[in-house]
Structure 1
Amino acid sequence: MHFLGNTCCINSYQDNNVIKVAPSGSVFCICLLAVLVSSDDWDIYSFHINSTVTSCYATTVITSRVANRMNESKETEFHVRIPKNAFISKFRMFIDDQIYDGVVKVKEQAQQQYTEAVSRGESAGLVSSVGRTLEEFRTSVTMAAHKKVTFELTYEELMKRMHGKYELQIHAQPMQPVRDFKVDVYIHEEAGISFIDVKGGLSTKALANAITKTHADKEAWIYFYPTADQQKMCDSCGEQGMNGDLVIVYDVNRDNGLGHIKKSAGYFVHHFAPSNLPRIPKNVVFLIDQSGSMHGKKIQQTRTALIHILNDLAEDDLFGLITFDGNIFHWKRELVQANSENMESAKHFARNIHDRGSTNINQAVLQGANMLNVHHREGSASILILLTDGDPTSGETNLEKIQSNVKQAIAGKFPLYCLGFGFDVNFDFLEKMSLQNNGVARRIYEDSDADLQLKGFYEEVATPLLTDVTMIYVGGTNLTQTNFSQYYNGSEIVVAGQITDNDIQTFIPQVVAVSSTRRVIFANTNDSVESTETMADDRIQRVWAHLTVKQLLDKQLQLSGPEKEKVKKEALELSLKYNFVTPLTSMVVTKPPGENTDVLHKPGRWSSVGLPLLILSSTCPVSLRFLRTQCTPCLLFT
């Protein structure tokens, strides 16, 4: 059967081992997938997850060993979830003493292989993201009777410090209880590990007894070895085994100086996160979409979150509130002090925000930018936060014109943070507008905790400690981003690069920034750079490559024409050199001569409706599939 569809998949669910899709309004999507074979037909006799973290860079290897105990050929599945920010860097299958290796290629080359496979009527699949933080990867292989296969997937991620900690998320979903199930995590941080904890749904109840944690200064070990019986005894466990997260939370020792710099083989990575600094008073304007599409739970959760956020403002902060639909509504037309009288008035205004009308994003952002420009005060940090759930539908509606207007109005003086509520929002538009103005965009998921998501984001930017941060590296080259408009408490600035001629004597790092009204310089030339030359790997270099690719992918979103193509080419070349599966590359799983190939893509950035990229070309006996447990639009061949 050969099916091609490009429509919206809403509310996908599983019934009798067949993935089905429920209708959304008048639009239907039928996603026809191969029937999932019962896990009783194969035996996962070993499932190991091994994660090594150094310099906040995690390399995780998932190894699954499977046996077909039946007297006939059966389809066997390898199913894992990995963090969205990670790059897959290796995938291998071991079958009958043969190794099937993945090779990263330019996406267009893989696309051609895919098209050719589909034209021959061969099977294929799809890729998309799963929930807030994960991507899902499925691989299946048809195994002969009484044969074994080993799957090995490696992915890498540079962890981001938020709220004063790093989180390493490991998702375990082996689809059946496994006799030999192990998670081994080793963390080594030269600065010293200040604390470490284990959280997540797999760390509670009976499974807590399966966790061993050891912490010794610069090193920590986490072992998670649940028995087959224990794997059925958590909130999300059952006869199908575990299905949940193990989250390792930690931070490193901090000083109030230059931070931690490590070098190896001519490369360096600098983690800068001073904490004992006075907070800077902030000027913040909240732009709240109250158009008709915010009806119901969205507007209720927005009101709840806004009231919580107002309670967290300090008295020396200045703030403003603007709501908008087709028109603009000011609580007050100027920034005011966050004293008790103004706070009560603002909360009253927030409680009376109701959905209505269309969406004039252009005018709302320009009004907010004008408030911050008019009321600029020395020694403060200004922040503009936009919350919306839809496209601009009134006033200026040309997206590029809006982005140009906003960039001109802000003129690099403060960051714009865009929060996109739900999946109807044009997230690409918000993301580009944020990046053009030194901010970030964040998707707010329509779950029961959406108000906590909003509040959580605000807390990331609630306490500015430095503004106009410039990272300087005399004797450094090929640097990642070195200029940052603001640094917030609990976060971190990471810069990587190369040391010219690998000469540490001429390498002089320093940080120049503004703390309130005072210019400050962080410098320490005495043994400020730690060498890891004894490490027999290229981890520091891979940190540089990972961070560079991420930033180039962000940068090309902001550009057009020849400049965009130049940046895209740089990101592609690095992806190929370091074997990263990125939105520009694909991994081709090679097989013996005469057989076809499987193609593995990484999901690109979600469009306004979350459109995933098509993923594979495959044929028996091996087929790769990516599925999504929540709905996204889909492009599917099967």
Structure 2
Amino acid sequence: MKRVLLLLLLLHQSCCFEFVIDGRCEDETFQDQDQQRHKRAILTSEEQEDFEAIRGDDITVKSYRVESRITSRFAHTTVRSSVVNSGPSAQSIGFNVQIPKRAFITNFTMNVNGITFVGSVKEKTVARNLYTQARARGKAAGIVRANSQDMETFKTEVHVPSGSHIEFELHYQEMMHRRLGFYEHSLYLQPGRLVPQFQVDVYIYEPKGISTVEIPNTLGQHFSELIKVTSTKDKAHVVFKPNLQQQKLCENCSHSVIDGVFTVKYDVVRDANAGELQVSDGHFVHFFAPSNLSPLPKNIVFVIDVSGSMWGVKMKQTVEAMQAILDDLTVDDFFSIIDFNHNVRCWSESLVSGSSIQIQDAKNYVQNIKPNGGTNINEALLRA
């Protein structure tokens, strides 16, 4: 009888978690049974030709699909990838996914030759030992690492025999945040190679109505014409489905140029009232984003590091940022600037109004800063 062991553990000390699979998938007695239990994806004749064209590599990615369903500013995202070890011997196959910092993983499964493994939490040392033992015995073994501090990277590595078919499936959720007038949903697309079946779907449903949907050109001009958007009063569907040839940068290129962030921006219809209140299972969320409020007057002291370590790009970026910030000030705002290295200087000893004359004088002052010397940040903050 086939023995399968699956572990998912939380590494508190190193701020990551791991996932271990240990299954006797190399046992010849069960290979035929495994293949019968596995439901393979059906390719069209054109896709089958594409699949054969890239089979020469030892690792073949058959499909890579991302689906997000956003309802009332809450997104459920699923990433699925189907991979084949087309090499002559056992090897490790990776599955790496970048997820937003605000997201949290709800489920991860791996299907190896028709056998599905679901993670559970275990202690760090136990899982590492089981993974090492499984690898040493030539079993199908996998390990997942992710940074639990900001949850940016989810990594999987599974060691499988030749001819194995692996399907990865990752689920995560996130609450949408409104920024600069839009709710923004970002998907990190990194298939790693050409994929015959590549597709991204984003479904949006907002009961209050959708006012606008935008798709910034974040993946590059090469894909701008391949993104399709359909929308109604309260629903929208964004689809990105490049074929194998469209994934190439040039006719003879052998690598995919899909490597970046796919972003969907949208906003909802807003009534001139106290916002929208949603209640579910004893919890509530209040969406409130008034658009007719005047900015509040501000008193601001800008403290700028102009020590030698700021030389070059850092100082250039600081000056550009200050120029943009100063442009946003109004006559009702009062401000001053303190810059410091080993000494501390004040552009103005008192706060001044954000008039056009003062703004221009402050811009000239910042533009002429030359970084040098040490870093006396304590005195600068005390002066502020």
TM normalised by structure 2 equals 0.75
Structure-2 residue corresponding to 1:342:
358
Distance 1:264 1:118 in 2: 42
Tell me, yes or no, if structure 1 residue 239 matches structure 2 residue 220.
Answer: no
Q: Counterparts in 2 of 1:65-80, with a 5 A limit?
A: 65-80=82-97
Tell me, yes or no, if structure 1 residue 281 matches structure 2 residue 297.
Answer: yes
Q: Counterparts in 2 of 1:626-637, with a 5 A limit?
A: none
Distance 2:350 2:77 in 1: 51
Tell me, yes or no, if structure 1 residue 313 matches structure 2 residue 337.
Answer: no
1:209 aligned to 210, 225, 247, which one?
A: 225
Q: Determine if contact 1:51/1:186 at 8 Å carries over to the other structure.
A: yes
Structure-2 residue corresponding to 1:98:
115
- Quote the offset at 1:174 in angstroms: 1.1
2:124 maps to a residue whose letter is Q
SS in 2 for 1:202: coil
Distance 1:41 1:353 in 2: 56
Q: Determine if contact 1:203/1:211 at 8 Å carries over to the other structure.
A: no
Distance 1:111 1:280 in 2: 51
User: As a proportion of its length, which structure holds more strand?
Assistant: 2
1:310 maps to a residue whose letter is L
Distance 2:98 2:168 in 1: 14
Q: Determine if contact 2:90/2:162 at 8 Å carries over to the other structure.
A: yes
Distance 1:53 1:116 in 2: 40
Distance 1:215 1:126, change over 3 A: closer
- Show CA shifts across 1:3-23 (max 9, x none): xxxxxxxxxxxxxxxxxxxxx
Deviates more, 1:88-97 or 1:111-120: 111-120
Structure-2 residue corresponding to 1:604:
none
Q: Determine if contact 1:88/1:156 at 8 Å carries over to the other structure.
A: yes
Q: Determine if contact 1:185/1:223 at 8 Å carries over to the other structure.
A: yes
Tell me, yes or no, if structure 1 residue 296 matches structure 2 residue 309.
Answer: no
Distance 2:353 2:363 in 1: 14
2:123 aligned to 92, 107, 110, which one?
A: 110
Identity %: 37
1:239 maps to a residue whose letter is S
Tell me, yes or no, if structure 1 residue 326 matches structure 2 residue 342.
Answer: yes
Distance 2:231 2:96 in 1: 31
Distance 1:39 1:60, change over 3 A: farther
Q: Counterparts in 2 of 1:462-541, with a 5 A limit?
A: none
Over the residues paired in the alignment, what is the CA RMSD in angstroms? 2.9
Q: Determine if contact 1:79/1:139 at 8 Å carries over to the other structure.
A: yes
Distance 1:301 1:70 in 2: 48
Q: Determine if contact 1:56/1:158 at 8 Å carries over to the other structure.
A: yes
Structure-1 residue corresponding to 2:286:
270
TM normalised by structure 1 equals 0.47
- Quote the offset at 1:119 in angstroms: 9.7
Tell me, yes or no, if structure 1 residue 89 matches structure 2 residue 89.
Answer: no
Structure-2 residue corresponding to 1:482:
none
Structure-2 residue corresponding to 1:480:
none
Distance 1:117 1:325, change over 3 A: farther
1:211 maps to a residue whose letter is I
- How many residue pairs get aligned? The number is 321
Q: Determine if contact 2:97/2:190 at 8 Å carries over to the other structure.
A: yes
- Quote the offset at 1:209 in angstroms: 3.4
Distance 2:374 2:289 in 1: 42
- Quote the offset at 1:365 in angstroms: 2.8
- Quote the offset at 1:110 in angstroms: 3.0
- Quote the offset at 1:62 in angstroms: 0.3
Q: Counterparts in 2 of 1:369-448, with a 5 A limit?
A: none
Structure-2 residue corresponding to 1:151:
168
Distance 2:215 2:143 in 1: 38
Tell me, yes or no, if structure 1 residue 253 matches structure 2 residue 266.
Answer: no
2:68 aligned to 51, 71, 76, which one?
A: 51
- Quote the offset at 1:73 in angstroms: 2.9
Q: Counterparts in 2 of 1:182-197, with a 5 A limit?
A: 182-197=199-214
Tell me, yes or no, if structure 1 residue 367 matches structure 2 residue 380.
Answer: no
- Quote the offset at 1:217 in angstroms: 1.4
2:236 aligned to 211, 220, 224, which one?
A: 220
Where in structure 2 are there 5+ consecutive unaligned residues? 1-54, 137-141
Distance 1:124 1:216, change over 3 A: closer
- Show CA shifts across 1:490-512 (max 9, x none): xxxxxxxxxxxxxxxxxxxxxxx
Tell me, yes or no, if structure 1 residue 64 matches structure 2 residue 52.
Answer: no
Q: Determine if contact 1:322/1:330 at 8 Å carries over to the other structure.
A: yes
Distance 1:81 1:246 in 2: 12
Distance 2:131 2:171 in 1: 28
Distance 2:212 2:73 in 1: 14
User: Which fold has the larger relative contact order, with Cα–Cα distance below 8 Å and residues 6 or more apart in sequence?
Assistant: 1
Distance 1:39 1:305 in 2: 49
- Quote the offset at 1:332 in angstroms: 0.7
Where in structure 1 are there 5+ consecutive unaligned residues? 1-37, 369-638
Q: Determine if contact 1:54/1:189 at 8 Å carries over to the other structure.
A: yes
Structure-1 residue corresponding to 2:14:
none
- Quote the offset at 1:159 in angstroms: 2.2
